[in-house]
Amino acid sequence: MGREKSGVMLGDFTLVDHVLRGLPSGVEVIVVGPDLPDPPRPVTCTREAPLGGGPVAGLAAGLHLVTTDVIGVIATDMPFAGGLLEALTQSIPPGADALIPVDATGHRQPLCAAYRVTSLRTAVQALDIVAGASMRSLLAHLVIAETASTDLDALFDIDSPSDLERSRAIMLEKKGCSHG
């Protein structure tokens, strides 16, 4: 979209605020991105190196701060996915390193998924260089379980101005709910 998505406004809140408001209370939240001036909940912010290094670099930066065995990962441009994340983190099947929802078109959504931390750290280390690395290359080092999402709006991501307009329509359909 030509700018930092976290600050894009959707209704009365930024995209990152929608994500944060949609997450369950009581969970530690690490935001990889610019410092948030007034987040709606406690967060720890960090940045990827180099800045703009992509989602794998962002995951690697956030992993240094994780203290749990399982994490949920959610992209800023998925403002309605917070509720889905809790179910994913509680449902990784035995033998799997990650549980990734599949959208209506059959595509995995690895930036709205649950991961076993030890496995994710091992996969990141296997890449050597994380800046510019693709999520596909990271996932190749993990045993993935997939799940179909019944809430198609939860997996909607905003990549263009028309997607932003569609997300506004989704908000109206959800009767003005700020987080889906």
Neighbours of 153 (CB within 10 A): 19
- The token pair that represents 60 in the structure block: 């690697």
Cis peptide before 50 (omega within 30 of 0): yes
Question: Which secondary structure element, helix H or strand E, spans residue 17, and what is its range?
Answer: helix 15-22
Write down the pLDDT at residue 21: 93
CB within 8 A of 80, min separation 6: which ones? Answer: 18, 22, 151, 153, 154, 156, 167, 170, 174, 179, 180
Reading the chain (180 residues) residue by residue, the pLDDT tens digits are 566 788 888 888 999 999 999 998 889 999 999 999 899 999 999 999 899 999 999 999 999 999 999 999 999 999 999 888 888 999 999 999 999 999 888 899 999 999 999 999 999 999 989 999 999 999 999 999 999 977 878 888 898 989 999 998 888 887 555 444
Domain assignments of the chain as residue spans, ordered by start: 5-173
5-173 CATH, one of 3.90.550.10, 3.40.640.10, 3.40.50.970, 3.90.1200.10: 3.90.550.10
Q: Any residues with CB less than 8 A from the CB of 149 and at least 6 apart, and which?
A: 84, 101, 102, 103, 155
